[in-house]
C-alpha cells in the first residue's frame, strides 16, 4: 500500500513539474518603418535543450507548429505572413520516418503591418506554440500580446 502511495505521489510531482516548466520566454516589440508601416517582433527565447516548431511543417510532421493569430483592428492591415528569423533546424524522427522544422535558442517572428490612418492604436493577438526537448513535449501553450502603435 505504501509503495502505491509513493508511486502515485511521484507521478503527480512529475506531472506538476512538467506543467510548471516555462522554458520559452516571449518578448514583444514594435519597430516603426515609416508613418504608416510597422514591424511587429514576437521573439521567443528557449532555455538550453528546448525548442519550438516553425510555422510551416512538412506534411508528415507530427509537431504542433507555431501559430500567430491577430485580433481584428479596422485601422491595421497585416502584410503577408510573419517571417521567421533564426537558425531553423531539421529534426528527424527516425522511428517514425518523419522530418519537422524547429528553432532552438531564439527565433524572431516578424510581421509587417500598415496603418490605414495616422492615429494611435494597438494591435493584439496570440501565439500558440509547443515547447519540446529530445525526450519530452509540454502541452501547447497560448501567449497573448498587445502592442501600442
Domains belonging to the chain, first-starting first, are 23-148 (2.60.40.1250)
For the segment 98-116, what is each residue's pLDDT rounded down to a tens digit?
Answer: 999 999 999 999 999 999 9
Q: Which residue has the cell 512538467?
A: 18
d(CA 88, CA 77): 27
Least confident of 10-19, 59-68, 125-134: 10-19
Q: What is the pLDDT of residue 132?
A: 97
State if pTM tops 0.85.
no
> pLDDT higher for 121 or 16?
121
Q: What is the pLDDT of residue 20?
A: 57
Contacts of 43 (CB under 8 A, 6+ apart): 26, 27, 28, 29, 106, 107, 108, 109
**Other Cβ atoms within 10 Å of 58 Cβ, number:** 11
Amino acid at each position: 500500500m505504501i509503495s502505491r502511495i509513493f508511486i502515485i505521489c511521484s507521478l503527480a510531482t512529475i506531472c506538476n513539474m512538467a506543467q510548471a516548466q516555462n522554458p520559452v520566454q516571449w518578448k514583444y516589440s514594435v519597430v516603426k518603418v515609416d508613418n504608416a508601416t510597422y514591424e511587429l517582433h514576437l521573439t521567443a527565447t528557449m532555455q538550453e535543450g528546448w525548442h519550438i516548431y516553425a510555422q510551416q511543417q512538412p506534411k508528415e510532421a507530427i509537431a504542433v507548429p507555431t501559430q500567430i493569430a491577430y485580433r481584428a483592428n479596422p485601422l491595421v492591415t497585416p502584410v503577408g505572413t510573419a517571417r521567421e528569423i533564426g537558425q531553423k533546424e531539421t529534426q528527424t524522427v527516425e522511428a517514425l520516418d518523419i522530418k519537422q522544422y524547429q528553432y532552438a535558442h531564439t527565433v524572431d517572428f516578424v510581421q509587417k503591418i500598415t496603418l490605414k490612418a495616422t492615429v494611435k492604436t494597438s494591435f493584439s493577438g496570440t501565439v500558440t506554440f509547443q515547447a519540446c526537448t529530445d525526450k519530452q513535449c509540454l502541452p501547447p501553450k497560448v501567449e497573448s500580446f498587445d502592442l501600442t502603435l
